[in-house]
Amino acid sequence: MHQQLILPTMGCGTWAWGNRLLWGYDESMDSQLQAVFNLCVSNGVTLFDTGDSYGTGRLNGRSETLLGRFTREYGGAGKEDICIATKLAAYPWRLTRQSMVKAGKSSAQRLGRNVDLVQMHWSTANYAPWQEGVLLDGLADLYEQGFVKGVGLSNYGPKRLQWVHKRFTERGVPIATLQVQYSLLSTYPVTQLRLKDVCDELGIKLIAYSPLALGILTGKYSEKELPKGIRGLLFRQLLPKIQPLLLCLREIAQSRNKTMSQVALNWCICKGTIPIPGAKTIEQAKENIGALGWQLDANEIAELDRAAASVDKQMVQNIFQTQ
């Protein structure tokens, strides 16, 4: 019998935990990250999303190693609910079922425990469709052999999702989750691709990654005040075009006595998805947790939907997102 996968209302993304390039990670941050982890778990944010490709250069796999350590050292409430979800990369040199099984076992080794939810990081349908079948078979093998509680996908569109679903159903392997970039600035997967409807039909939970659009929806940035590096370049292009959306977020946040981030995350929850915002500091984690325990009303959601639809510049879509 497979153990049940228990998913909370909101999770925590750990892309930044080990990424120097985009997020400026440094090993001196580790004790702060442990505090973030503890705060999340004790507040019911028990899903941690990582990937075996996370971590820059020699820090490859760093995020998984940290999560393993944090889980072991955590002694508070909710420990048994901790759900570690990792994504296995469809690297060009992973060409067999066995390579995926091996990757899953390497992740488990870094974590010092089994992975709860194993996910295909992206589909190779856009550039090497012949590679994908065996990699998916390897994921299903991990499930069949009892190494994981559930299997999920990432960056899949409805056509490809239905193809995988059919393939897995023949083996009796359920798809637990699908994770896509979804936020007020990236409504494409749900509005254009109708992914939420397909997921509901197939009994799959939709996980929203980058629910704060790399931080631009927090309202902390302006054209005078930009983050460093790649994000700064992207935000400089986006900010002038998304002002009506930010204004709408700000007004709702003020009337609710919440922050803009909390409203943006609550919107994702109201849409029936599990958002997984990242957090590198206690302040960020506290702010994310403040999105729980209340709900936007139908009028506020409609207002945000309208503001999101009127923005002519959306977030850059993941290049691996398939139809």
CB 205 within 8 A of CB 7: yes
Residues 6 or more apart in contact with residue 321 via CB below 8 angstroms: 155, 156, 157, 180, 181, 189
The strand pairing partners of 175, in sequence order, are 151
- What is the separation, in whole angstroms, between the first and last Cα of the chain? 34
Question: Contact, 32 vs 64, CB < 8 A?
Answer: no
- Distance (Å, whole) CA 187 – CA 253: 20
Tokens of 106: 């390497």
Q: How far apart are CA 173 and CA 162, in angstroms?
A: 14
Helix (H, G, I), strand (E, B) or coil at 42: helix
Q: Which of 25, 54, 209, 221 is catalytic?
A: 54
Query: Is 182 in contact with 199 (CB distance < 8 Å)?
Result: no
For the record, the structure tokens of 260 come out as 């803009």
Q: Catalytic residue at 188? A: no
Query: Can you spell out the DSSP letters for 230-296?
Result: HHHHHHHHHGGGSHHHHHHHHHHHHHHT--HHHHHHHHHHHTTEEE--B-SSHHHHHHHHTTSS---
Supply 289's token pair: 């947790």
Give the residue numbers marked as catalytic.
Answer: 54
